[in-house]
């Protein structure tokens, strides 16, 4: 049973600052099992307490898991002084304190990006040890050669000597392909193709584990991931 102060609970669940939560509680906007409470320091059991705010019951979520169709031109970071980040695109109804992107997509990369406030989940997603497959569609500035799928499968050695884990390269045409990797080194796919003197013109992530970017999730849009979908990231419960 997790206990929490009422102001902390409100601030987490409704994305308020602690001071906004304290003021709201003191003004009587919060009730516990139908009875107005005005004490921000009140300790509640987050799983069983029936808390309402402005007469609307809060359904407690320990963590939140969001899928974004990341647009190009936006930074995969929690905050930046001057540039727009993926967190800026999260709609208010899904916003929470402590949200961050799970791993990084380059500024010009588009597609499936997970966003959460659950550090353990994020760690499991990006850890090469867990081997979660990330699938990308790639458009190149030159032609894929016949030997490349085999080289990718053997593990590409980058220009700086870094050895990549085995990857799958499935050509879809002369200059476009599907690439599956199970790790996330800095600019990994661009650097893998760079070894073959190919530049990446477009990079779009379509899946993470068994979680596939929905066709109807438009660029820049977000949706909350259900518990069922969450399991599909790992193919099992974690
Ligand atoms: N590999 C890259 O080079 N960039 C990305 O954004 C993701 C994988």
Mean pLDDT of 125-136: 92
User: Where do runs of H (alpha helix) occur along the chain?
Assistant: 6-14, 18-26, 119-126, 148-154, 188-194, 227-234
Does residue 137 share a domain with residue 124?
no
CB-defined site of ligand 1, < 6 Å: 105-106, 109, 187-190, 203
Does residue 113 share a domain with residue 137?
no
What CATH number is attached to the domain comprising 71? 3.30.70.580
Does residue 140 share a domain with residue 123?
no
Mean pLDDT of 122-150: 95
What CATH number is attached to the domain comprising 39? 3.10.290.10
**What predicted TM-score, i.e. pTM, was given to this entire model?**
0.91
238 vs 235: CA distance, rounded Å: 9
User: Structure tokens of 156?
Assistant: 């590409």
How many domains, the chain?
3
Q: Which of 106, 147, 160, 216 is catalytic?
A: 106
205 Cα: distance to centroid of ligand 1 (angstroms): 9
Confidence of residue 235 (pLDDT cuts 50, 70, 90): low
Mean pLDDT of 117-135: 91
Does residue 147 share a domain with residue 165?
yes
Kindly give the number of the ligand 1 atom that is closest to the alpha carbon of 184: 8
Question: Is 213 among the domain residues?
Answer: no
**Which residue range forms the structural domain that includes residue 94?**
65-128+218-234
Q: Cβ distance 208 to 233 under 8 Å?
A: yes
Mean pLDDT of 99-116: 97
Whether 147 sits among the annotated catalytic residues: the reply is: no
End position of a domain, from candidates 57, 77, 100: 57
179 Cα: distance to centroid of ligand 1 (angstroms): 11
What CATH number is attached to the domain comprising 195? 3.30.70.1560
Does residue 99 share a domain with residue 146?
no
Does residue 97 share a domain with residue 198?
no
191 Cα: distance to centroid of ligand 1 (angstroms): 9
Whether the per-residue pLDDT at 201 is higher than 60: the answer is yes
In 3D, which of 83, 89, 98 has the Cα closest to residue 71? Answer: 89
Of 169, 189, 204, 208, the one to substitute when testing ligand 1's pocket (max ligand atoms within 8 A of C-beta) is 189
Beta strands in the chain (DSSP E): 3-5, 30-32, 35-36, 43-45, 51-53, 56-57, 65-70, 100-101, 110-116, 134-140, 168-171, 176-181, 200-208, 211-212, 222-224
Q: Cβ distance 41 to 90 under 8 Å?
A: no
Q: 207-234: per-residue pLDDT in tens? A: 999 899 999 999 999 999 987 788 777 7
218 vs 108: CA distance, rounded Å: 16
Does residue 53 share a domain with residue 11?
yes
Does residue 147 share a domain with residue 104?
no
């Amino acid at each position: 049973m997790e206990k929490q102060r009422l102001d902390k609970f409100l601030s987490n669940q409704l994305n308020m600052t602690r001071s906004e939560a304290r003021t709201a509680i003191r003004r009587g906007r919060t009730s516990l099992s139908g009875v107005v409470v005005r004490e921000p320091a009140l300790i509640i059991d987050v799983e069983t307490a029936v808390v309402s705010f402005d007469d609307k019951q809060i359904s407690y979520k320990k963590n939140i898991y969001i899928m974004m169709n990341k647009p190009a031109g936006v930074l995969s970071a929690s905050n930046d002084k001057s540039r727009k980040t993926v967190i800026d695109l999260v709609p208010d109804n899904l916003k929470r304190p402590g949200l961050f992107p799970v791993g990084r997509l380059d500024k010009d990369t588009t597609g499936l990006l997970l966003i959460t406030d659950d550090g353990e989940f994020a760690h499991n997603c990006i850890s090469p040890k867990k081997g979660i497959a990330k699938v990308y569609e790639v458009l190149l500035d030159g032609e894929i050669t016949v030997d490349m799928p085999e080289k990718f499968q053997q593990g590409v050695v980058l220009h700086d000597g870094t050895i990549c884990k085995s990857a799958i390269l499935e050509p879809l045409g002369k200059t476009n392909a599907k690439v599956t990797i199970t790790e996330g080194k800095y600019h990994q796919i661009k650097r893998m193709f760079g070894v073959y003197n190919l530049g990446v013109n477009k990079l779009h992530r379509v899946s993470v584990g068994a979680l596939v970017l929905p066709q109807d999730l438009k660029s820049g849009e977000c949706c909350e991931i259900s518990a069922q979908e969450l399991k599909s990231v790992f193919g099992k419960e974690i």
